[in-house]
Structure 1
Amino acid sequence: MADVVRKPTIVDVARAARVSTATVSRVLNGRRVTDPELVRRVQQAAEQLRYRPSGTARSLKAGVTRLVGVVVPDLANPSFSELLRGLADAAGGYGHRLLVADSKERQDEERTLIHELAPRCDGLVLCSPRLPLEDLARLTAGPLVCTNRDVGGLSISSAGVDSYAGMTEVVRHLAALGHRHLGYLAGPPTSWSDAERQRALGDAAAALRLRVTVARAGSTSEDGHAALPELLAAGVSAVVAFNDLVAIGGLARLRERGLTVPGDVSLTGFDDIPVAQFLDPPLTTVRLPNEEVGRQAWALLREQLRQSGRHGAVRLAARLVARASTGTAPGGR
């Protein structure tokens, strides 16, 4: 077995320089030491011993870790990957790195991860958090940003997208194509974004005198695949999915049933993930600027790190991208 080489410690440097460990710490951290001879001896001893201070230890002692804790509900969803890319690029420019955890769409797991990450990180970013507001209210002591979530007047910064306006565009687009009965593949019941999209769907449909049937799906392609038959049984002519992954599952189920898109049923998604434009047919969806949401989340968190107690909110625009998966309603349905 090879011998383990022991790294020199601050005690070794202090002994070699014949000074206290406190003096070594002051010299190596750039703090003022009046005696130039002491500075010379410490620097010489550190160089001879090849001593390197522990970045982790210094960070913890100073109360700064240069880490941002990030909790997401589903790492497999490309829209969260895009947000993380923007957040990582922006935070990296200021020397911060991300510590990312997946709550797997479970509130209990999300709660546990928050409590585990908070003491290890300078601040937290909660991506589309599923926790109720009363739980979020207990987290306001430290730097915190929520993305795509209404924070109900809490002292929490937020960055997100106007999902309500995006869904309104979808409904108007389908109505202009003659669709009178829409089906919605709903997202997770704990998702604020899903509630916001359902609210917009209901308001726009009522204004245009359209029928809406809702089927609870989830956030994955498997969820969309499983829930779609409920909408087909209701006789809808267009299906609006909570996100693009759910839409992809719905598209697969339609093909299994021998139905064409958009000839028999039109289909829309939400997010505009990279694969959406390459589906057959290319998917009509709502483009969300997820990378920019990530960058804005860092800007809000950095503001809190610089000025404790200062909070803000950013709401970015969503945009309908009409592609070949939507067409004229068959038979005026």
Structure 2
Amino acid sequence: MANITDVSRLANVSKATVSRVLSGSRGVREESRLAVLQAAEQLNFRPNATARSLATQATDCVGIILSPQLGNRLASMLPLLEGALARVGKNMLVRFADGAQQQQQAVDELLGGRCDGVLVLGTKQPLNPDSRLIQLDGVSESDNLNLCYDLTFATESACRFLLGKGHRQLVLMLDDKSSPAGKSAIQGYQQALQQQSLPYNSQLVIDGTDNQQALLGLLNRYLPFTALVVQQDAQAADAMRLLREFNLHIPQDVSVISLEGSALASQLTPPLTCIEYPSERLAQESVRVLQAQLAQSLRPADEQQKFQGRLVVRESVVAR
């Protein structure tokens, strides 16, 4: 098995130069760097991870923290994050934590020597500011950098698509309309209505925590509607099932559009039109930004970076 001495001999450089090249340190001539990399590849040399960590004071590991109750949308990002991290030579350590206290404890533990940085998915509570921490779809009030889905844009886009098809009574079903995400969605809903000079009816905005009960209450109040905008694909599946029990056909009687666009969307009957969540872009950008913050030791950024979804038209929406 080749070692660092073999690489240094083949590359005709010192062992210290080999160590600097393989650890990514600066101050090495390009000619020497290329010689080391070619020698390492020729000898199939892979530096010991533990030794490299001791030399560079880096773990080459990024922690991922998420709630066990997290929806399919964010949980499905784990393989995308793993792939993005692998491409930059990082490993992934996943921790499940619920609530502000557990999540902060998990952050402190991982940043205490186990990981170089941490990505927190979907936290609803502000976490202590740290340049090694990035939140994905976290609370907007946090002092940490938050990369998030532009739910205002997604909701406005979904509603404008329906309005363009002639729909005028639109129901908006949310996880929690009092949450920051819920308020963002309502803002997009109102903006779309205002552009068409249509009134806002708060009775058509419902909480979907108990999907069937929320929609059942709406049906029992005999409020007319021709289209349903849901926050999650699972809500669409439940709504379609209940609407059929009331002899309402999808999409002939009620059109349905989702703000998620998971794998479930294409499996429903009819296949679900949606504003697709930008999972791959969020995963790639979160890793890139975290790498930049770790390399430059940037101070925590008190800002959000929003990512827009894209409209995927299937068969659950028809014109009126």
TM range (shorter): 0.7 to 0.9
**Superposed counterparts of 1:263-278, under 5 Å:** 263-278=252-267
Partner amino acid, structure 2, of 1:163: L
Q: Distance in 2 between matches of 1:190 and 1:84?
A: 28
Q: Distance in 2 between matches of 1:72 and 1:190?
A: 22
1:216 aligns with 2:210: no
Contact map agreement 1:149 1:193 (CA 8 A) in 2: no
Cα distance, 1:176–1:165 mapped onto 2, change above 3 Å: same
Provide the aligned C-alpha RMSD in A.
3.1
TM-score, length-normalised on structure 1? 0.70
Question: Which residue of 1 is the match for residue 310 of structure 2?
Answer: 319
Partner amino acid, structure 1, of 2:78: L
Partner amino acid, structure 2, of 1:164: T
Question: Which residue of 2 is the match for residue 17 of structure 1?
Answer: none
Partner of residue 74 from structure 2, selected from 64, 80, 100 = 80
Partner amino acid, structure 2, of 1:64: A
Q: Which runs of 5+ in 1 are unaligned?
A: 1-26, 32-52
TM-score, length-normalised on structure 2? 0.73
Which is further off, 226-235 or 310-319?
310-319
Q: Distance in 1 between matches of 2:296 and 2:124?
A: 27
Deviations along 1:69-127, one digit per CA (max 9) or x if unpaired, are 212245663322442222211211233222223445x4454344334433232111122
Question: Which residue of 2 is the match for residue 90 of structure 1?
Answer: 84
Cα distance, 1:275–1:129 mapped onto 2, change above 3 Å: same
Q: Distance in 2 between matches of 1:145 and 1:86?
A: 16
Residue 163 of structure 2 aligns to a residue whose secondary structure is helix
**Superposed counterparts of 1:116-127, under 5 Å:** 116-119=109-112, 120-127=114-121
Identical pairs, percent: 26
Partner of residue 165 from structure 1, selected from 153, 156, 161 = 153
Question: Which residue of 2 is the match for residue 256 of structure 1?
Answer: 245
Question: Which residue of 2 is the match for residue 141 of structure 1?
Answer: 130
Deviations along 1:121-156, one digit per CA (max 9) or x if unpaired, are 21111222211xxx33xx2234011123464583x3
Cα distance, 1:190–1:178 mapped onto 2, change above 3 Å: closer
Residue 245 of structure 1 aligns to a residue whose secondary structure is helix
Q: Distance in 2 between matches of 1:226 and 1:98?
A: 39
Contact map agreement 2:271 2:315 (CA 8 A) in 1: yes
Number of corresponding residues: 271
Question: Which residue of 1 is the match for residue 162 of structure 2?
Answer: 174
Cα distance, 1:103–1:190 mapped onto 2, change above 3 Å: farther
Q: Distance in 1 between matches of 2:288 and 2:129?
A: 18
Q: Distance in 1 between matches of 2:276 and 2:175?
A: 17
1:299 aligns with 2:288: yes
Deviation of residue 58 (structure 1)?
Answer: 7.4
Q: Which runs of 5+ in 2 are unaligned?
A: 1-15, 21-46
